[in-house]
A and B are shown apart, each in its own frame.
Chain A
Amino acid sequence: MDPIIQTENLTHIYSQGTPFESTAIKEVNFSAYPGEFIGIIGHTGSGKSTFIQHLNGLLKPSSGKVLFNGRDIWENKETTRQVRFKVGVVFQYPEYQLFEETIYKDIAFGPKNMKLSESEIDERVREAVDFVEVPQAWLEKSPFDLSGGQKRRVAIAGVIAMRPEVLILDEPTAGLDPRGRDSIIGNIKNYQKATNSAVLLVTHSMEEIARSVNRLVVFNHGTIAMSGTPSEVFSNVDELEQIGLSVPEVTKVMMRLKELGMDIDSSVYTIQQAKRALIDYVAGRR
């Protein structure tokens, strides 16, 4: 299978040629395949946001390439524009970009820019609100009357309505309570399953996404420091802590138990897995 989106030696330098010049990401090689759910983690300032803004052509690489379905997205103007619709990006605090009078109109903004027919737009708006669990009855309400969490769902629906083949979300759960967080991640997962798209979810909290993702990519100082399944990544506790990222608490507990001489599987990151590992251990001893 070919990657749907790929970067080759991607480097970005902000304010190049001024005294404020700074390299945000350097020589990043990355690829994502359809149907993957990828978590991108790294502490603030590690270049995650800069990286994802290259994937839909919002930022132009200082050097290196971004390929969508094997084609350079900067080949010509039309390709760049089309990529905007195929690679959907939900920015951090997306609720601050709502502007229309009604929720319906706001979600329809993207599809309208794609020059779709009215009936197609209508279908997509309704499908999108279903994905994010916003009641259809609200469509004619003003988005400014909603609570913060509801606004965020509407904003996410605005990107989902474009049916992107790659959906990227920058810290979509920042500032939400645990239940809202789990529910939004569940919604995103449903979208990914229903459309077999690739999803990239940016966060700085491990606990939050470890359960949902197939692959974790760790950013540090503008480069990819680690990449692999959650258990592979979490097995490098020391390195992660050096980078300044925390490992889920249960993983730490299991690591410590192993250090104390218990022969258990410590590459776990959810309570469920830990429970199973402990039961296995106890059963094995008997």
Chain B
Amino acid sequence: MLRDITLGQYFPGRTIIHLLDPRTKLILTVLYIVVLFMADSITGYGLMLFVIACCIYISKISLKVILRGLKPLLVVIILTAILNLFYTPGREIVRIWILKITVEGVRQALFMVLRIVMLIAGTFMLTYTTAPIALTDGMESLMNPLKKIKVPVHELSMMMSIALRFIPTLIEETDKIMSAQKARGADFDSGNLVEKAKAMLPLLVPLFISAFRRADELAVAMECRCYHGGEGRTRMKQLRMQQRDYIALMFGAGLLLIMIGIRMLHI
């Protein structure tokens, strides 16, 4: 059912990748994406493939899980492949009616698909190995300098933490209400668009009512515990960079340098 959605889900573990500081992982993910977009040769893509394969191996996340996460984007990937395959000018190898496949087209299609897949796999590495709360903490800490220009960093991250915290609850609630209405013969799957939209009403009304009730209860509970925003607030779990974080960041910097080298030498 709804719960089986894996996009953005966290898989607990105790591997070195799980243990890295969320800030390190955020920086490395951004770095990885930048380097990935710099790759423009077989060597470059090969290097990135090797890097992501190593990460997946170390994190012990099964390949099956990652592939399942890619499923919702299958259409985009196939579309990219087809467009690049047929619309890249260059040396022709086959011709079907007015469509021609070129050597450059094959190369381009392969690279683009690889780029999308590795991009997604890379971000999955982040969300699969980092608890959502750790992730928002990391973001808050990285964005801290923005407080100087009056960006409400703490409030934003608190909102995000709460939203993340309630996603599973809301999914569970949706599941329950859906079952209850189905038990009274509600049909959410058939009919045209208008009928489908109408059929959602028995689901949406109770869902909104309960979301508002929860928000209200949470606000009261937070006030009762004297929550008053980020000012002067300390943390129980402080983020601390460890030796492994510095080593990981050094690996990241190394990767960037190698990629620059590959580009400059045109290999």
Interface residues of A (CB under 8 A from B): 15, 18-19, 53, 56, 58, 81, 84-85, 88-91, 94, 96-99, 109-110, 113-114, 144, 158-159, 162
A15-B4, A96-B210 as given contacts; A84 in contact with B202, CB under 8 Å: no
Q: In the complex, are the beta carbons of A114 and B177 less than 8 A apart?
A: no
A19-B65, A53-B179, A96-B177 as given contacts; A158 in contact with B210, CB under 8 Å: no
Q: In the complex, are the beta carbons of A99 and B202 less than 8 A apart?
A: yes
A15-B3, A18-B4 as given contacts; A113 in contact with B180, CB under 8 Å: no
A15-B3, A18-B4, A113-B187 as given contacts; A97 in contact with B181, CB under 8 Å: yes
Q: How far is the CB of A120 from chain B (nearest CB, A)?
A: 15
- Does chain A have a CB within 8 A of B165? no
Number of A-B contacts (CB under 8 A): 61
CA distance A89 to B202 in the complex (A): 17
Q: How far is the CB of B212 from chain A (nearest CB, A)?
A: 12
Q: In the complex, are the beta carbons of B177 and A97 less than 8 A apart?
A: yes
CA distance A53 to B183 in the complex (A): 9
* A19, A91, A113: the one within 8 Å of B176 (CB): A91
Q: In the complex, are the beta carbons of A159 and B184 less than 8 A apart?
A: yes
User: Beyond the given A110-B185, A144-B209, could you list 20 further A-B residue pairs with CB under 8 A, ordered by the A residue number?
Assistant: A15-B3, A18-B65, A19-B65, A53-B179, A56-B183, A84-B183, A94-B180, A96-B206, A96-B210, A97-B180, A97-B181, A97-B202, A98-B206, A99-B201, A109-B184, A109-B186, A113-B185, A113-B187, A159-B183, A159-B184
CA distance A91 to B183 in the complex (A): 9
Interface residues of B (CB under 8 A from A): 3-4, 6, 11, 62, 65, 176-177, 179-187, 201-202, 205-206, 209-210
Closest 3 CB pairs of A and B: A113-B185, A99-B205, A110-B184
CA distance A68 to B4 in the complex (A): 29
* B4, B177, B186: the one within 8 Å of A113 (CB): B186
> Which of chain A's residues has its CB closest to B177's CB?
A97
Q: In the complex, are the beta carbons of A97 and B185 less than 8 A apart?
A: no
CA distance A113 to B195 in the complex (A): 13
CA distance A159 to B182 in the complex (A): 11
> Which of chain B's residues has its CB closest to A144's CB?
B209
Q: In the complex, are the beta carbons of B186 and A91 less than 8 A apart?
A: no
> Which of chain A's residues has its CB closest to B186's CB?
A113
Q: Pick 19 A–B contacts, CB within 8 A, sort by A.
A: A15-B4, A18-B6, A18-B65, A19-B11, A19-B62, A84-B184, A96-B176, A96-B177, A96-B209, A97-B180, A98-B206, A109-B181, A109-B184, A109-B186, A110-B184, A113-B187, A158-B184, A159-B183, A162-B185
> Which of chain A's residues has its CB closest to B64's CB?
A17
CA distance A114 to B184 in the complex (A): 9
- In this complex, which of B4, B65, B185, B187 has the most chain A Cβ atoms within 10 angstroms of its Cβ? B185
Chain B residues whose C-beta falls within 8 Å of the C-beta of A94 in the assembled complex:
180
Chain A residues whose C-beta falls within 8 Å of the C-beta of B176 in the assembled complex:
91, 96
Q: How far is the CB of B169 from chain A (nearest CB, A)?
A: 13
Q: In the complex, are the beta carbons of B183 and A99 less than 8 A apart?
A: no
Q: How far is the CB of B69 from chain A (nearest CB, A)?
A: 11
CA distance A88 to B181 in the complex (A): 11
CA distance A15 to B171 in the complex (A): 15
CA distance A284 to B218 in the complex (A): 62
Q: How far is the CB of A269 from chain B (nearest CB, A)?
A: 31
Q: How far is the CB of B107 from chain A (nearest CB, A)?
A: 36
> Which of chain A's residues has its CB closest to B68's CB?
A18
Chain A residues whose C-beta falls within 8 Å of the C-beta of B184 in the assembled complex:
84, 109-110, 113, 158-159, 162
* A19, A58, A99: the one within 8 Å of B182 (CB): A58
Chain B residues whose C-beta falls within 8 Å of the C-beta of A56 in the assembled complex:
183
Chain A residues whose C-beta falls within 8 Å of the C-beta of B205 in the assembled complex:
99
Q: In the complex, are the beta carbons of A91 and B179 less than 8 A apart?
A: yes
> Which of chain A's residues has its CB closest to B3's CB?
A15
> Which of chain A's residues has its CB closest to B185's CB?
A113
Q: In the complex, are the beta carbons of A58 and B179 less than 8 A apart?
A: yes
CA distance A46 to B181 in the complex (A): 24
Q: In the complex, are the beta carbons of B185 and A114 less than 8 A apart?
A: yes
> Which of chain B's residues has its CB closest to A81's CB?
B185
Chain A residues whose C-beta falls within 8 Å of the C-beta of B186 in the assembled complex:
109, 113
